[in-house]
Each structure stands twice: as structure tokens, then as C-alpha cells.
Amino acid sequence: MNDIVRQEITATADKIVVKVGTRVLTDEQGRLDSQRIASLASQLSQLAAQSKKVVLVSSGAVAAGMNRLQLDMRPADLAVLQAVAAVGQIDLMQAYQQQFQTHQQIAAQVLLTATELDDRASYLNVRNTLLELLNLKIIPIVNENDTVAVEELQTTFGDNDRLAALVTNLLGAQLLIILSNVDGLYAGSPNGEETEILETVVAVDDTILSYVEDRSNALSRGGMNSKLQAVKMVTSAGENVVLANGHEQNVITRILAGESLGTLFLAEGKTLSPWKRWLRFSAQSQGTIVLDAGACAAIETEGKSLLAIGIVGFRGEFAKGDVISICNDEGLELARGLTNYDSIEIAKIQGQQSTAFQQILGYCPYDEVIHRDNLAVVLT
């Protein structure tokens, strides 16, 4: 039955995002592995020739730069790290370009920062660019722009697993393939003699998260925890993910042929609209509104709009039209949405009926603080 499900998912996937980690792209000495890059280029070119729309999210710039500069350890200093990435990006793209050319396949480099996916207009510009490249049968190679990204959470992806998930949701790709140096998700410690790889995961719940056993590495930032967080972003948007070992021969081709490689994470729930995906995963919150239990239930389970009467507090300064987080009284984020009122107005109308807005504010442009059409539930 699992094989049938895999075959159906892979056969019907029109847009595919492939994420390849640093540990896959480098050899034991930390140098770019030309044979591995050649294999990736060959497999992706074959998919493009079959009219599949493929995006490659690639790590490896920092590792390539470290090799070029003869560094043994990943720099801790941000400015040095950005300089190393700038050096390595040239080698990485040159390696890809040479290999794609042997298959008469055109590739394009796309460097992103989180800010570009936070702002709605920039988000749409990125989406339009990637879709046009795909329509032209060009393979975009996406990476975080480490040379200009800064440390603050709001402007860095943190690792390319998250970036791959954001790109998958941005495009509405039906399948994300994450290639790492592990065979899949183990149901326990990978070192256990009887530990088995999970072939299929229906939901990334607390039990699945408990299997995580990350290890640090001098070259890369990600780990199994970051991969599962990326998986959760994609599956909760209604798409599927395969986590597999990038060292396997022709791994991408075999996965898309329906072969049982790695772990398949099945989509959870219905497919989210592009607007809801941006709200839920890409937009950065500018403030927080705290709700009482009744308002929380109305939003979580009843699909209601956010009304002022259910607000018991707020944090931060935000303007009308900003994306804000909606939390319960324990600080757990329930949803995100675009606010119709700024923080100064919220301070005056919280806990009030909308019929009182005119008297309190002198105007009442909206009955809802956040309309349900501009609200995306985070918890599922």
C-alpha cells in the first residue's frame, strides 16, 4: 500500500523542490564533490526534459569558501562568515553551471533573504520570477544570500531546510525532496541495533519529534530537528515531503519512480491557498494580541473573525495592515493575520463590542479587528 501511495504522489507532482545539504555536496575533506554535483545535474536535467518544474535549493557556499580559503572550522564571526560565503558562492555556481551545460540545461542563480519573503510585494516578485524561470524550462538554484543576511531572526532563514520549505510553499510545489546524509527518519537512535527507518509518517507529532537526535557539524547548520520543522511547514500546507540519503545512486530519479527510499511524510489536511501560506509561514509578526478562551475557540475551531471583545491584552507597536500574532493567555501562538487597527486603537477598544467603536474612536471602519479572510490558523 505504501508503494502505491508513493507512486501516486511522485507521478502527479508537477512542481518539485529538491533541497541538498552541505554534507551531500562535499567529500570527507569538506571539498565540493564534483561527481555528486554531476549526478544532481544529470537527474534534475532529466526531470526538466520530462516537463517537470524543478527548483534546487542548495547549501554549500560556505563549505566551498572554507575550502578555497583553507579554513578548517566554520567561522563564528558574522562578517567573516559572509565573506567566506561570498567567495564560495562563485565556486559553487561554477560547479553547477559546468555540469548543467553538459546536458544543455540552463540554470539560474536566485539568492534570497528572509526579508524578501516577509514583505508581500517582494514575496510576489520572487514567486513570479521563479515561476517564469520554470515556464522557460530553466532550473532555479536557490540559496540564502549569506553575504548580506544578518543575524537577527527576522532577516535570516536559519538554515536551508527552512528556506526549502518556504520556497515549496511559495510555489505551491506538490513535493519537497530533502537530501541529507541520513537514510531517513529513524524510530529511535540511529545507532540502535534494532532501530528502523520509518517508511511513512502520517503526522509530525510529539512522538515523531521525540525521535530527533541531532549532531553538530563544522560545515553545516541544519540537523534532523530543522528538517522536521521544515517538513511540518510543508505538510501542514497540504503537500508531501521525502527525506532521503543524497549519497544513494540516482536517488532523485528513484524517488520519483516511486521507489521506497527514505521517509515519506504525508500531507496533513487540505491544501492552503497562496495567501494563507504567506500569512502563516513567511510573514514576520509585528506584534501580539492576546485572547480569552472563548475567542481562542472561535478562531481555532469555528473559523471566526477576531473581534475586539475577545482581546484581553496586546504587546508591541504595530500599524494598520501589519501582520500580528494571535495568542492565548499562556503565550501560545494560535494564528496570524492582518490587523484592521493599530496598537493605539487596540488599547482603546480591547474588550469592547464593535458597536462602541464609534463612541470610543470617533469612527468605525471595521467591525472585525482581523477578518477571517485575512487570518491563518497556525495550530492544526
Q: What is the DSSP string of 258-321?
A: T---SEEE---SSPPPHHHHIIIIISPP--EEEE-HHHHHHHHTT-PPB-GGGEEEEES---TT
- If one counts every other C-beta atom within 10 angstroms of the C-beta of residue 358, the result is 10
pLDDT at 41 (0 to 100): 96
Q: Which residue has the cell 525532496?
A: 177
* CA dihedral sign of residues 237, 242, 245, 248: negative
Distance (Å, whole) CA 242 – CA 65: 29
Measuring CA to CA, which residue among 196, 266, 259 is closest to residue 236? 266
Distance (Å, whole) CA 151 – CA 43: 35
Whether 333 and 326 have beta carbons less than 8 Å apart is answered as yes
User: What are the Cα distances from residue 46, in Å, to 11, 50, 104, 135, 261?
Assistant: 15, 6, 11, 16, 19
Distance (Å, whole) CA 380 – CA 371: 19
pLDDT at 51 (0 to 100): 92
Measuring CA to CA, which residue among 21, 16, 278 is closest to residue 161? 21
Whether 324 and 361 have beta carbons less than 8 Å apart is answered as no
Q: Please give the domain boundaries of the chain with CATH numbers for all domains.
A: 2-276 (3.40.1160.10), 285-377 (2.30.130.10)
Q: Which residues of the chain have pLDDT under 50?
A: 151-155, 216, 218-221
pLDDT at 190 (0 to 100): 65
Q: Is 79 left (phi over 0), alpha (psi -120 to 50) or beta?
A: alpha
